[in-house]
């Protein structure tokens, strides 16, 4: 209880000499939410204009890594206040702009847990961290999220903004005489609960996969994890007087995290006071690796999947589709990759292959970067007023010229005909363009109208396309 001073004395008086020679970057847990109990015991620099009543949120840089320390006590429903959420986004973007290569977030109530709190409403509810904060972390390009709250060891797969696991591309490398499997360009954060250095331990949450999907329960939840073991202390049986938890003070954990230029390596250790004279031993290891697609070893590709994210990594192209025989698939080059996400192959296989069709399964080989381009997605088409809304994955600084667009129109089962746009408008974000084309004749409004829009421009943008040779 953070409001009880003698409990702080227990900590500082017993471990004081170690603390005096150790750099500590603490965050507030749920037992530290009492007014001033956390900020009064640590000398920290809070984020500007932040409320430190229930804890402190702040950030710092160490070498090429930016650390973000969050306070989960501000708002019980959403974990973070709107002020802290806005600060998080601004802070991470600013750090990346200054050159931070890695971003590590530390928070107490983590979105992805495998124990008691995994189905708590503030984590798994409609406004919980899993649905509100995880997409922010993924979209900001956070690499690793260190969590607490549940006293167990667990490690997720890289989890994307939509809550699904990213495709894993693994490379085995040596680190400190230990074989480590590195996630190569995962494109999504890994969530780690590093066990506990204290005495209290929790069992694994087994009900989460056996109850209906309502209220945070999900039969497939543990498929999101690479490590979701039972609490190792469970071998010692239930605690005396507390059957819901294993016996205390037998198992503790700690982690070693090393960041190099292009690799982040994690070694997880455990101490069992009843084993080998309490000598630490390794229970898990993993790593993250950022590999430039431009220097990736070429492989032979069967096909290409158009990626909607702003800066697709190599593995987003290494996924497969069987949309058409290889000899009829159009080559994706810098010339036609400038088109929309709805890439077309009309006339080759008597149909139009859209983004969804291209994103079905694969196994790839040999994908190289061709050029930096912009992708656009036709999000809405109005057959009544002739307005086509295009969503970009990168902001544009100026409105594209009408001549940059090639538009064809197919009504019902008719022949595709070229139409000339009459206007183009760019919104204030630079990401939404409304393209106006002539209205469809009234007699044809009841039929389906398909627009294929391609866009060619010399405007420099930051997205990437991939070149796949026809075989």
Q: How confident is the model at residue 392 (pLDDT cuts 50, 70, 90)?
A: low
pLDDT tens, position by position, 193-208: 999 999 999 999 988 8
Instruction: Name the residue among 463, 292, 470 with its Cα closest to residue 366.
Output: 470
Residues 290, 296: Cα–Cα separation, whole Å = 11
Give me the pLDDT at residue 398, please.
Answer: 66
Give me the pLDDT at residue 454, please.
Answer: 53
Instruction: Name the residue among 396, 393, 417 with its Cα closest to residue 407.
Output: 417
User: Tokens 């997720």 identify what position?
Assistant: 156
Could you give the percent of the chain with pLDDT greater than 70?
Answer: 66
- Those residues with Cβ within 8 angstroms of residue 389's Cβ, 6 or more apart along the chain or in another chain: 378, 379, 380, 381, 432, 433, 434, 435
Lowest mean pLDDT among 73-77, 232-236, 413-417, 457-461: 457-461
Specify the higher pLDDT residue, 402 or 58: 58
- Averaged over 14-21, what is the pLDDT? 85
- Those residues with Cβ within 8 angstroms of residue 375's Cβ, 6 or more apart along the chain or in another chain: 306, 307, 308, 337, 340, 341, 392, 393, 463, 465
Specify the higher pLDDT residue, 319 or 393: 393
Q: How confident is the model at residue 45 (pLDDT cuts 50, 70, 90)?
A: very high
51 pLDDT above the threshold of 80: yes
Q: Give the domain ranges of the chain.
A: 5-293, 294-467
Give me the pLDDT at residue 338, please.
Answer: 30
Lowest mean pLDDT among 59-63, 141-145, 167-171, 460-464: 460-464
Helix (H, G, I), strand (E, B) or coil at 405: strand
Give me the pLDDT at residue 306, please.
Answer: 34
401 pLDDT above the threshold of 80: no
Residues 233, 204: Cα–Cα separation, whole Å = 11
Give me the pLDDT at residue 19, please.
Answer: 85
Give me the pLDDT at residue 419, please.
Answer: 77
pLDDT tens, position by position, 79-106: 789 999 999 999 999 999 999 999 999 9
* CATH numeric code, 5-293: 3.30.750.180
Q: How confident is the model at residue 140 (pLDDT cuts 50, 70, 90)?
A: very high
């Amino acid at each position: 209880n953070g409001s009880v001073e003698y409990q702080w004395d227990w900590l500082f008086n017993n471990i004081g000499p170690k603390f005096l020679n150790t750099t500590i970057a603490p965050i507030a847990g749920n037992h530290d939410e009492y007014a001033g109990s956390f900020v009064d015991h640590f000398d920290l620099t809070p984020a500007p204009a932040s409320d430190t009543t229930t804890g402190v949120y702040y950030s710092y840089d160490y070498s090429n890594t930016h650390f973000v320390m969050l306070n989960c006590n501000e708002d019980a429903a959403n974990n973070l206040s709107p002020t802290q959420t806005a600060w998080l986004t601004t802070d991470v973007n600013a750090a990346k702009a200054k050159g931070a290569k890695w971003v590590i977030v530390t928070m107490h109530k983590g979105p992805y847990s495998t124990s008691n709190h995994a189905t708590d409403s503030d984590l798994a509810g409609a406004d919980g961290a899993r649905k509100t904060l995880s997409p922010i972390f993924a979209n900001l390009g956070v690499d690793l999220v260190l969590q607490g709250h549940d006293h167990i060891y667990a490690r997720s797969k890289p989890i994307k903004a939509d809550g699904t696991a990213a495709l894993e591309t693994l490379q085995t490398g040596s680190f400190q005489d230990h074989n480590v499997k590195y996630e190569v360009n995962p494109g999504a954060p890994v969530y780690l609960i590093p066990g506990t250095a204290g005495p209290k331990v929790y069992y694994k949450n087994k009900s989460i996969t056996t109850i209906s999907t309502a209220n945070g329960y999900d039969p497939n939840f543990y498929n999101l994890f690479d490590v979701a073991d039972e609490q190792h202390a469970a071998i010692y049986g239930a605690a005396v007087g507390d059957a819901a938890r294993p016996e205390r003070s037998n198992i503790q954990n700690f982690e070693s995290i090393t960041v190099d230029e292009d690799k982040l390596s994690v070694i997880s250790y455990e101490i069992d006071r009843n084993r080998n004279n309490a000598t630490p031993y390794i229970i898990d290891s993993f790593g993250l690796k950022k590999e430039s697609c431009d220097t990736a070893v070429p492989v032979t590709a069967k096909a290409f999947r158009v990626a909607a994210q702003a800066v697709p990594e190599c593995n987003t192209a290494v996924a497969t589709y069987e949309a058409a025989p290889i000899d009829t698939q159009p080559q994706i080059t810098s010339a036609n990759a400038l088109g929309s996400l709805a890439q077309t192959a009309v006339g080759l296989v008597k149909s139009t292959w859209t983004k969804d069709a291209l994103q079905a399964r694969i196994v790839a080989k040999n994908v190289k970067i061709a050029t930096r381009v912009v992708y656009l997605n036709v999000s809405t088409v109005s057959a009544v007023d002739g307005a086509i809304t295009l969503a970009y994955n990168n902001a544009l600084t100026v409105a594209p010229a009408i001549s940059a667009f090639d538009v064809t129109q197919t009504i019902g089962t008719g022949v595709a005909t070229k139409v000339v746009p009459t206007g183009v408008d760019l919104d204030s974000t630079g990401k939404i363009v409304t393209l106006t084309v002539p209205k469809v004749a009234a007699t044809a409004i009841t039929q389906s109208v398909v627009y294929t829009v391609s866009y060619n421009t010399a405007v420099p943008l930051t997205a990437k396309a991939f070149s796949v040779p026809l075989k």
